[in-house]
Amino acid sequence: MNRLFIMLVSLALLLPSAVLAADSEGNTKDTDKDLSVDSSIATPGAYTLTITTEEFYEELMSRAREFKADKNYFEAANSLLGAAILSEDSKGRELRIEAARLYGWSGRYDIAEAIYGEILKKEPESKRARLGLAQIYSWSGRHAQSLQEYARVLKLQPGNPSALLGQARVKSWMGDYDGAIKGFSALLKIDPDNNEAREAKARTLWWQGKHASSIKELERILEKKPDNKEIKRLKRRVEWDAGPTLSVKGSQSSDSDSNEINSLKAIVYINHNTAGKLHFEFTRYNVSRKKDKGHATVLTIRNSTRVTGKLKIKPTISLINSKSGPASNSYMTVGVRAEVKINKRLRGTISARRSPYLDTAQLIRNNIRVTSYSGTLSYDIKKRTTLSASAGFNDYSDSNTSYTLRGNLAHTVFKEPDYTITAGYIPEYREFSKTTSSGYYNPPRLFSNDLYLNIKGLLYNDDLVYNATITAGLQNSSTKTEYTGALRIGATYYIKENFNVEAEAKWSKSALETSTGYRSETYKAGLNYLF
């Protein structure tokens, strides 16, 4: 790390409070802050900067504390680096290590790695620096290098709790759940009160599909800390994921072309083994547009199977019966989706499925079905910023085809214990091979740009979970250009820990929100019960 750069950064931080005063002859004037002079460099007509080393150091440390309290970790780290230059070797080294840790928290892994590397060149046996470097490697997805650094710490100090914990966490993120649980268990034998290790073990057991064991570990934490909100929230998630559950949901939708859709759905969810989750969904649709009516019944069976720690396969089969006027159709559709965790920062999905359009009586009569193929990659650019890109191809039963390109840049603006605010940008492009009159919206080309803001969180002792998203943008097709927008508000209220009610309302002016391309509004409500 360039010492001159660090000093310049430190000086820049202090300029507002430094004493700068001079006349045209270069004479220093009185100021309202009395500072003694260690050294000064002045030339005729130039300003003179005077500040003691001790006060310079205290000012930097004060700023570091303020920035850290405000969670501005990057600026806090800058201030600490400046203070490190003014300190003795041992104290300066500790300040550099703390600065590197804060750079890591801010997502500047490159700077943190450089600082740790500089320290380890001079002191290769510094356990704090090596532990910090191991963390940076793990956070940036370089798991093999992280494990090497943790192993070096354990060679220097066998049984080091931080190294054992970090090593087990990295194995968990790599999908080596058995190795991770073995590591957490070894640490808990040494330190049974290490709740950080017990929570990490509980999460790993959950990811492995061992819900009962996960819940048992979380209950042990709550025995000693019954008011721990984070653990109580995690326990609720694990319990509902363990199932079995029964849900009954209804919805009512309408669009600006007088189309109406009413549906009633029953869902049974069973976690049938440590690697699989089974959903049974029975849905009844009733659609109408003035006197034109139709209905459909759909039975869907969907399974989710964990093949490895990094790969999930989700096959789906649906049995459909639809009728509108004299037209009646019965058929089966299938689909499959694969989700893969490439590394800690990169994830991907691919899917292929056959599905019907059941949104209007005309679509049911025309028996429109679509075969879709899609792929998505999601990359965590920084700690709170994710970029996703997807491509899809659709083949319709009326001999039409289309392809879609879509992106999503999302940044978490605020992440607090009780709420999260995320802002994002979504560009999307669709192109159809031809325009048909089958009943779905298919302009030759459609380009959309949307900005959105989402807030979600918990209220009333976590009994109320809320989620709201507002979207605004511009859509351009071969026929028109228009402003678009959407508002979605939803909430779930836990009457008991195993029983909740949910409701959602959505208003949209967007050609992408419905198959018909019209403005729409949707209202949903449901009951969910955990056995």
pLDDT in tens, the chain (531 residues): 445 445 444 444 444 444 333 333 334 334 333 433 343 344 444 445 455 778 888 888 889 899 989 889 999 999 988 888 887 777 888 899 999 999 999 889 999 999 999 999 999 999 999 999 999 999 888 999 999 999 999 999 998 999 999 999 999 988 899 999 999 999 999 999 999 999 999 999 999 889 999 999 999 999 999 999 999 999 999 999 999 999 999 999 998 888 999 999 999 999 877 768 899 999 999 999 988 999 999 999 999 988 887 899 999 999 999 999 888 999 999 999 999 988 878 999 999 999 999 989 999 999 999 999 999 999 998 778 999 999 999 999 999 999 999 999 999 999 999 999 999 999 999 999 998 988 888 888 999 999 999 999 999 999 999 999 999 999 998 778 889 999 999 999 999 999 999 999 999 988 777 777 678 999 999 999 999
CB 338 within 8 A of CB 311: yes
Task: State the pLDDT at residue 51.
Answer: 58
Q: pLDDT tens for residues 252-278?
A: 999 888 899 999 999 999 987 776 889
pTM of the model: 0.81
Q: pLDDT tens for residues 57-110?
A: 888 888 989 998 988 999 999 998 888 888 777 788 889 999 999 999 988 999
Average model confidence (pLDDT) across the chain: 87
Alpha carbon separation from 445 to 396, 402, 477 (Å, rounded)? 16, 9, 6
Residue reference for tokens 């914990």: 165
Residue 179's H or E segment, with its range, is helix 177-190
Number of neighbouring beta carbons within 10 Å of residue 341: 17
Task: State the pLDDT at residue 306.
Answer: 86
Task: State the pLDDT at residue 91.
Answer: 84
Runs of H (alpha helix) within 106-126: 109-122
Number of neighbouring beta carbons within 10 Å of residue 478: 11
d(CA 528, CA 508) in angstroms, rounded, equals 26
